[in-house]
Amino acid sequence: MQRFINNPDDLVDETVAGFVKAHRDLVHLDPANPRVVVSNAAPQPGRVGIVTGGGSGHEPAFIGYAGRNMVDAVAVGELFSSPTAKSFADAIRAADGGAGVAVLYGNYAGDNMNVKMAARMVAKDGIEVATVVANDDVCSAPAAERAKRRGVAGEIFMWKIGGAKAAQGAPLSEVQAAAQKAIDACRSVGVGLGPCTLPGVGHPNFQIEPGTMEVGIGHHGEPGTRVEALKTASEVADDMLRIVMEDHALPPGSEVAVLVSGLGATPVNELYVLYDRIEAGLTAKGMTVHKALVGNYFTSLEMVGATLTVMALDGELKALLDLETASPAL
Amino acid sequence: MQRFINNPDDLVDETVAGFVKAHRDLVHLDPANPRVVVSNAAPQPGRVGIVTGGGSGHEPAFIGYAGRNMVDAVAVGELFSSPTAKSFADAIRAADGGAGVAVLYGNYAGDNMNVKMAARMVAKDGIEVATVVANDDVCSAPAAERAKRRGVAGEIFMWKIGGAKAAQGAPLSEVQAAAQKAIDACRSVGVGLGPCTLPGVGHPNFQIEPGTMEVGIGHHGEPGTRVEALKTASEVADDMLRIVMEDHALPPGSEVAVLVSGLGATPVNELYVLYDRIEAGLTAKGMTVHKALVGNYFTSLEMVGATLTVMALDGELKALLDLETASPAL
């Protein structure tokens, strides 16, 4: 395993320690819980707090999105594992400015359970909690069962919109509604070209044979909808766009935001090759890209592959997306 | 080769095309030369222009540093190959605001030759050119022969400082002096854990055996000073810091800027593990980190590994480093 690691058991703590040192102008550790990263702008008195959290190994997600006008506090889990209920609860407490807290997270069993428990824990402190569960991964369940879909890179747009709405002073119900609207407007798909290895395990937890690719793969190597021969970048980009847009069914003239994220070990230039083709495909459909993000925004250790997220925009989402923000990753 | 590519011959053009689409708020292609990326803020009438350029495959370098108060125009080469003299000349023309142009680039034979030729070409247009050649890679030559050293990730600090000085309206000689001071204050080292493959070649152009690492490796796989057994992240971080600081010989109390860049396929969390240990080492030496950058800032396709750059700061460099900027990568 050609990796920069010490004891695998220390990897998450060391990651978080380095992260809060490198970005001390924006974030700090919760003094009460070393698995909670808090924005230096939090809590915002009288404003809704924004919390997220998830397993580690997806850096810069989730911790990189703590910051001003973004996420107020992030609960940090072990590699590819949900944060504890206590960490979610401590994150909620750290984000609480007295106007309630919106917890915006991804649809995974552990996270669902622990966020629910956390909400009960902080209810005793009088903190009102609203939740939005991201489920933007098209290939993880049919459209008719969207509630079963996993949350993936669309979460970044959900956090951005929720954080912006909270920054504008909206009440909890409106922040929740805006974040829900954001994730409802997102569709994502992942394509995997190479697996990843949890350092404590020491070998890949799934395989992708050379010469093949897995379409619809999840952020932890969850099986995709099909394994097929590796295609050209343009063909892959076309496939990704088709999968996302068939689920979206947007009218021509729509404005969208696009995120192409590497999964950790994909050369940055290839993400731009994909983006070039994706934007061309959107333009051909009569769509306009209002904002594009291309880079390693939501990774899976050293997985080779990429995700595409397309968010449909209206006037409100555009304005919230454009609101100035400052976080380590955005 | 598990990669997102079409015809390898088209990779650079497609990368640049996707890049200028994704970041059209900040950059555009030179209408006269598709291998020149120009900041939307360029040229700045009456101000010194900043140009850089280099081979592709290092994204977000070099194109990602075009932007406001940064680089005005970037000449784009083939993968791991210098841009042509014509592209450097066109970049100089695009950056020229009438007060001369500083070309801030890395010490490679092709770049040296082509920048010299470009300077002669634009002299006919009456454009004054000053150059600064980055040579921050400690392991590429002894300290007594610094002029032989390669330029690596320290170039990012050189561009930032030069761009800030130009933005303040300084004359060409002062912009050149500030950029020279910045790169003189930088020391870098790279450690490679896995090789990279030029898509047109189809196999790695060098090997790193599993269980080993190459200390002092260059951005194109240039051999390091030694191959040794792969150590723990802390040991690697200590080695990198020792190599850089022995060459630096800074007094306790010094303030520094630190850049830990992945080489393309290193998980982002491991870069923070390295940074955690590096900052601890600097603190133990009585140094203060004024600014830290951790991420994929200067890559080598899908090479596994990382670089460390430490820049010594004084009041002038700190102020220039802190000047607000907007580019796709910084």
Average pLDDT over residues B112-128: 98
| Whole-number pLDDT of residue B205 | 82
Question: Quick check: A313 pLDDT over 90?
Answer: yes
State the virtual CA torsion across A142, A145, A149, A154 in degrees, nearest 10. Answer: 90
Average pLDDT over residues B291-306: 98
Question: Tens of pLDDT along A180-238?
Answer: 999 999 999 999 999 999 999 999 989 999 999 999 999 999 988 899 999 999 999 99
Question: Tens of pLDDT along B146-179?
Answer: 999 999 999 999 999 999 999 999 999 999 999 9
* Antiparallel, parallel or unpaired: β B288-295 and B255-262: parallel
Residues 6+ apart with CB under 8 A from B266: A3, A4, A265, A302, B193, B304, B305, B306
What are the tokens at A249? 């069914």
Q: Is A58 a catalytic residue?
A: yes
| Whole-number pLDDT of residue B142 | 95
Nearest to B2 among A56, A194, A279 (CB): A194
For the ranges A17-21, B217-221, B257-261, the lowest mean pLDDT is seen at B217-221
Q: Which amino acid is at A70?
A: M
> Residues B51, B101: contact at Cβ < 8 Å?
yes
Share of residues in chain A with pLDDT > 70 (%)? 100
Nearest to A18 among B21, B267, B273 (CB): B273
Which residues of chain B make contact with A194, given a CB cutoff of 8 A? 2
Instruction: Show the domains of chain B with their CATH numbers.
Output: 13-184 (3.40.50.10440), 186-321 (3.30.1180.20)
> CA–CA separation, A188 vs B277, rounded Å?
36
What are the tokens at B85? 């003299």
Question: What's the pLDDT band for A159 if we cut at 50, 70, 90?
Answer: very high
**Contact across the interface for A275 and B22, Cβ inside 8 Å:** yes
* DSSP states along B213-246: EEET--TT----SEEEE---HHHHHHHHHHHHHH
> CA–CA separation, B63 vs B56, rounded Å?
9
Residues 6+ apart with CB under 8 A from A137: A149, A150, A151, A152, A154, A188, A189, A190, A218
| Whole-number pLDDT of residue A224 | 86
Question: Quick check: B139 pLDDT over 90?
Answer: yes
> Residues B329, B297: contact at Cβ < 8 Å?
yes
Tokens 């919106």: give the residue: A102
| Whole-number pLDDT of residue A71 | 98
Average pLDDT over residues B251-268: 97
A vs B: CB pairs below 8 A? 189
Question: Quick check: A170 pLDDT over 90?
Answer: yes
Average pLDDT over residues A240-260: 96
| Closest to B229 measured CA to CA, from B244, B216, B212 | B212
| Whole-number pLDDT of residue A175 | 98
CB atoms within 10 A of CB B165: 27
> Residues B105, B114: contact at Cβ < 8 Å?
no
> Residues B269, A56: contact at Cβ < 8 Å?
yes
CB atoms within 10 A of CB A303: 28
Q: What's the mean per-residue pLDDT of chain A?
A: 97
Question: Quick check: B140 pLDDT over 90?
Answer: yes
| Whole-number pLDDT of residue B84 | 98
**Contact across the interface for A306 and B15, Cβ inside 8 Å:** no
Question: Tens of pLDDT along A47-96?
Answer: 999 999 999 999 999 999 999 999 999 999 999 999 999 999 999 999 99
> CA–CA separation, B300 vs B191, rounded Å?
12
| Whole-number pLDDT of residue B224 | 86
Catalytic residue among A23, A28, A219, A220: A220
Instruction: Please name the residues between 193 and 232 in chain A that touch chain B, using a CB distance below 8 Å.
Output: 193-194, 208, 210, 213, 230, 232
Tokens 């092709």: give the residue: B110
Instruction: Please name the residues between 34 and 93 in chain B that touch chain A, using a CB distance below 8 Å.
Output: 56-57, 59-60
Question: Quick check: A258 pLDDT over 90?
Answer: yes
Instruction: Please name the residues between 3 and 22 in chain B that touch chain A, using a CB distance below 8 Å.
Output: 3-6, 11-12, 14-19, 21-22
SS3 for B97-157 is CCCCEEEEEECCHHHHHHHHHHHHHHHCCCCCEEEEEECCEHHHCCHHHHHHCCCCCHHHH
Which residues of chain A make contact with B325, given a CB cutoff of 8 A? none
Question: What's the pLDDT band for B280 if we cut at 50, 70, 90?
Answer: very high
Picking from B74, B239, B272 by the largest number of A CB atoms within 10 A of its own CB, the best residue to mutate is: B272
| Whole-number pLDDT of residue B56 | 98
Question: What's the pLDDT band for A245 if we cut at 50, 70, 90?
Answer: very high
Kindly provide the ipTM of the predicted complex, given to two decimals. Answer: 0.97
Question: What's the pLDDT band for B289 if we cut at 50, 70, 90?
Answer: very high
Average pLDDT over residues B267-278: 98
| Whole-number pLDDT of residue A315 | 98
| Whole-number pLDDT of residue A13 | 98
| Whole-number pLDDT of residue A1 | 87
Question: What's the pLDDT band for A36 if we cut at 50, 70, 90?
Answer: very high
* Sheet bearing A212-215, strands edge to edge: A226-229, A212-215, A186-194, A304-313, A255-262, A288-295
Helix (H, G, I), strand (E, B) or coil at A207: coil
Average pLDDT over residues A121-140: 97
Q: What's the mean per-residue pLDDT of chain B?
A: 97
Question: Quick check: B1 pLDDT over 90?
Answer: no
- The number of residues in chain A equals 330
Question: How big is the CA angle at A161 (ends A155 and A162), to the nearest 5 degrees?
Answer: 85
Average pLDDT over residues B274-296: 98
Question: Tens of pLDDT along A263-297?
Answer: 999 999 999 999 999 999 999 999 999 999 999 99
| Whole-number pLDDT of residue B90 | 98
Question: Tens of pLDDT along B15-26?
Answer: 999 999 999 999
> CA–CA separation, A291 vs A313, rounded Å?
10
Which residues of chain B make contact with A276, given a CB cutoff of 8 A? 14-15, 17-18, 21
Q: What proportions of chain A, in percent to the nearest 5, are helix, strand and coil?
A: 35, 25, 35
